[in-house]
Amino acid sequence: MDKVVNLLERLQAVLGTGGLLTDTASRRVYARDASHFQLGLPVAVTLPGNGNEVSKVLALCAAAQVPVVCRGTGTGLSGGALTPEGCVVLGSGRLRDLGPLAVAQRSIHVEPGVLNESVSRRCRAMGLEFAPDPSSQAAATIGGNIAENAGGPHCLRHGVTLQHVRRLEWCDASGRPFLTGRGLSVERGLDLVSLLCGSEGTLGVITGADLALIPVGSAVRTMLAVFPVLDEAVNSAVALIGSGLLPVAIEIVDQTMLGAVEEAFGFGFPTDVAAAMIVEFSGNEAAVEADAASAQSVLTSGGAREVTLAGDEQERAALWRCRKKAFGAVGRLAPKYVTMDVVVPLGQLPQLVRDIQAIKARFKVEIATAFHAGDGNLHPGIHYDDQDPEQTKSAHAAAEAIILRAMSLGGSCTGEHGVGIEKLAVVSRMLDPVTASLQQGIKDVFDPAGLLNPGKMLPALDAEYAAAAVVPAQLRIDWESLTVTAPADLPVAEMQAALMERGLWVPVGAWLPGKGGQWGLARAGTVGDLVMDLVPGPGLGAWGAVRDLILELWAETGDGRLFHTGAPVYKNVAGYSLAQALCGSGGVFARPRAATFQLRPVPPSLGLWVCEHPDGGADRRNLLPLFKALRAHQNAFPGRVAILETDGERLQGPLIMLVPGTDRPWDLGALAAVLKSEREKIGCRCLRHEVLTFAGSVDQLAREKVLPQWASSAPTWTTLTQRLEDQDAGIDDMPWAARRILCQFSPRICWLPETAVSDRNWHADIIRHRGHRTELPVPTGEVPLAILRGLKNLFDPQGKLSRPGWLVP
């Protein structure tokens, strides 16, 4: 007791008035969250006002060996913020600084207590937004979003929170502050951001974050489709994704949920239908118009009784408000509900929905379901009266049956709500024993005394685990679920070729590797190399790095223990994001054996422009207006690549521009107009312009020697990405002294066949330097060396995995 009194006195000295709450009322309030569980009472609630105070609180608690539970606004549904008896709550209620906003870098710095919705509200005027939009976004904090790796409807197209966090400021259990991530577009090394994001406060405490922002589409179409039959709605969602359209969101609510929402908000939904679906497209006006029309025919032929477009922004906002407040509205149906968060491979969604109907009948329970249908994530909510013991028992039994069924269909017990305490009993069945011991090992490395959010997320050692991992030996494509599983030794070329037969690919690297997978820019040899080297490639139409696309990984530790992590689903927060963390770690922690990736439709066309200055060689500064114009349009035309050959001040060879897209007036046609007008202003001639078929075009261009030889075959190159903290330096600050450059405008990356002579404003990072030892760049901020060493020791205790120059301190 003295220990606690002493701790409280010290905390008071650090936190001052309003920063420490020890009265019974406060302790009772902070013992609860949006889950319907309860553990014990905390001894105190701390509300630090800055990162320094967070650090001190953690240090004091660590010294007193008192556990710490982090909390945002307590909107979590899995009990992640619940308090074990006697812990200290570390609340982010006073950590709410927002900004500055770096428009050119599409990034904003936030403290963890900032509300999700405030971020997008702040950025929208600049045409940017923060993509993750959990239904609780009006009240949920960024700190909580990061801790839970939150999703939301719009993650279908844009990815979950992890894919939108660039850099984290955080403290370990003892209060030591660190800065992880350099804020670059491409970054290699064991990714601690991936481990921290989704770790439910068990590894570290986030004190600040640089978030990546995405451009707001200039036009939006939001459609409401109503279906007389639930199965038909679900099948239509699968058909929509399969049709090659890329909606930003596909949501379904079933009849029960619809009734509650209608009662709460009176939107005017028909309540006599079995399901309502919201589909949203975002992009430029003509494109969304065309997409919406295609979607309408898919939905109508799929059985939709009626498909209507939201008339204006107000109607659209009202639609989303209904969807996002749906769960609160369920409170009108019964006093309690248990919400599940299962996710299955998309192709299995119709089966799961049918099984849920059967479970509903078997247990005689009422279920209201909201689906993030596009990514196979379902939230069946079983509502019941907790004063009726029979109802309570059936509700929980039915919930378990649904979760087990989803897992048996290859899914996960949680897509975005987290494990918390709610899913401790089931999450172990998704982990093989080696993965479970690695997860516990990671926890022990970060928090040896086990003080951070104890009793959450990690199942007990004697729990029931999955069978030992079996490595897939062959390429396996799930066309319906849009995933591919490939053994690590398979050439990437073969995998992509197989996928392209049906117009799909793993969208990394534009330079399609030839048979045999010879080395070249973005021509990773094998699937294993792709994963371990985090090959970015000039992302023609790409969606980001391999880390954003990997779903599942089979790998072997340095001492030969085989493990499997992840699941073949688009969203999964059952355990630490080990596959993502190991992605790009250079193979010095584990050897990959196989991996599963998301698939995306291949862009249909590739626009090509070859330009030249009239006098044959231009002052490079003359090109600035052209580049600036391109950057100004980067929201509309992502994935632009330019190839320059320069000799210091003078531009030597032609300027080659490659842009993926559709051969339509509003897409590549519109870009052609922009380029033409800008080109004419600087007197630049166009030697060649055509629109090629995307698949095979790169090989064709290489044959015609349009692409420089080095771009497809040089063994060594350097990537440069602009540092986050720089102001919009502009193209002028590129390292022009290099003779040849390949640059991409979104994200802003340059490739050079030789080492850059100047890295002012730019950060050099070696992708691969075969046979040579290279110095790795020095990361900014304090590196958690002890943690990296601990992790290396965990995965490779005998130090068998090594690679010159890779991030092993």
Q: Which residues form the interface with other proteins (CB under 8 A)?
A: 18, 21, 23-26, 28-30, 32-34, 36, 47, 73-75, 91-94, 96, 113, 115, 117, 121, 136, 138-140, 264-265, 325-332, 335-337
Q: How far is the CB of 133 from other proteins (least distance, A)?
A: 14
Burial tier of 727 (Cβ tally within 10 Å: 0-12, 13-18, 19+): exposed
Q: CB 87: neighbour CB atoms within 10 A?
A: 24
* 93 vs 805, beta carbon nearer other proteins: 93
Tokens 């119709």, residue located? 350
* 47 vs 643, beta carbon nearer other proteins: 47
* 91 vs 661, beta carbon nearer other proteins: 91
* 324 vs 740, beta carbon nearer other proteins: 324
H/E element, 123: helix 116-124
* 240 vs 330, beta carbon nearer other proteins: 330
601: alpha, beta or left? (left if phi > 0; alpha if psi -120 to 50): beta
Q: How far is the CB of 585 from other proteins (least distance, A)?
A: 37
Q: CB 680: neighbour CB atoms within 10 A?
A: 11
Relative to beta strand 88-91, strand 68-71 is parallel
In whole angstroms, give the CA distance from residue 466 to residue 483: 22
Q: How far is the CB of 793 from other proteins (least distance, A)?
A: 40
* 51 vs 592, beta carbon nearer other proteins: 51
SS3 290: helix
Burial tier of 809 (Cβ tally within 10 Å: 0-12, 13-18, 19+): exposed
- Give me the long-range contacts of 318-321 (CB less than 8 A, separation at least 24): 318/265, 318/267, 319/222, 319/224, 319/267, 319/278, 320/153, 320/222, 320/278, 321/265
H/E element, 641: strand 641-647
Q: Which residues pair with 338 in a beta bridge?
A: 382
* 33 vs 254, beta carbon nearer other proteins: 33
Angle between helices 2-15 and 51-64 (to 10 degrees): 170
What residue spans of 544-623 are helical by DSSP H? 578-582
Q: How far is the CB of 99 from other proteins (least distance, A)?
A: 13
In whole angstroms, give the CA distance from residue 462 to residue 444: 17
* 335 vs 665, beta carbon nearer other proteins: 335
* 266 vs 448, beta carbon nearer other proteins: 266
Q: How far is the CB of 545 from other proteins (least distance, A)?
A: 34
610: alpha, beta or left? (left if phi > 0; alpha if psi -120 to 50): beta
In whole angstroms, give the CA distance from residue 743 to residue 729: 15
Q: How far is the CB of 598 from other proteins (least distance, A)?
A: 31
The answer to whether the bond into 660 is cis (omega within 30° of 0) is no
Q: How far is the CB of 119 from other proteins (least distance, A)?
A: 13
Contact 551, 567 (CB under 8 A): yes
Relative to beta strand 504-505, strand 600-601 is antiparallel
SS3 564: strand
Q: Distances from the Cα of 635 to the Cαs of 126, 194, 217, in angstroms?
A: 12, 26, 8
Residue 510 phi, psi (nearest 5): -95, -30
Q: How far is the CB of 546 from other proteins (least distance, A)?
A: 36
List the structure tokens of 543: 């969606």
Q: How far is the CB of 494 from other proteins (least distance, A)?
A: 49
* 21 vs 196, beta carbon nearer other proteins: 21
Q: How far is the CB of 142 from other proteins (least distance, A)?
A: 13
Q: How far is the CB of 335 from other proteins (least distance, A)?
A: 4
Q: How far is the CB of 130 from other proteins (least distance, A)?
A: 16
* 332 vs 362, beta carbon nearer other proteins: 332
* 73 vs 721, beta carbon nearer other proteins: 73
Q: How far is the CB of 72 from other proteins (least distance, A)?
A: 9
Cβ neighbours for 590, distance < 8 A, ≥ 6 positions apart: 555, 556, 557, 558, 563, 582, 795, 796, 801
The b/e string for 366-392 (b: 16+ C-beta within 10 A; e otherwise) is bbbbbbbbbbbbbbbbbbbeeeeeebe
SS3 344: coil
Tokens 């995405």, residue located? 214
* 17 vs 474, beta carbon nearer other proteins: 17
Q: Return the biggest CA–CA distance within the chain.
A: 86
Q: How far is the CB of 270 from other proteins (least distance, A)?
A: 20
* 30 vs 465, beta carbon nearer other proteins: 30
Q: How far is the CB of 646 from other proteins (least distance, A)?
A: 45
* 24 vs 474, beta carbon nearer other proteins: 24
Q: Distances from the Cα of 87 to the Cαs of 174, 312, 536, 800, in angstroms?
A: 15, 49, 44, 41
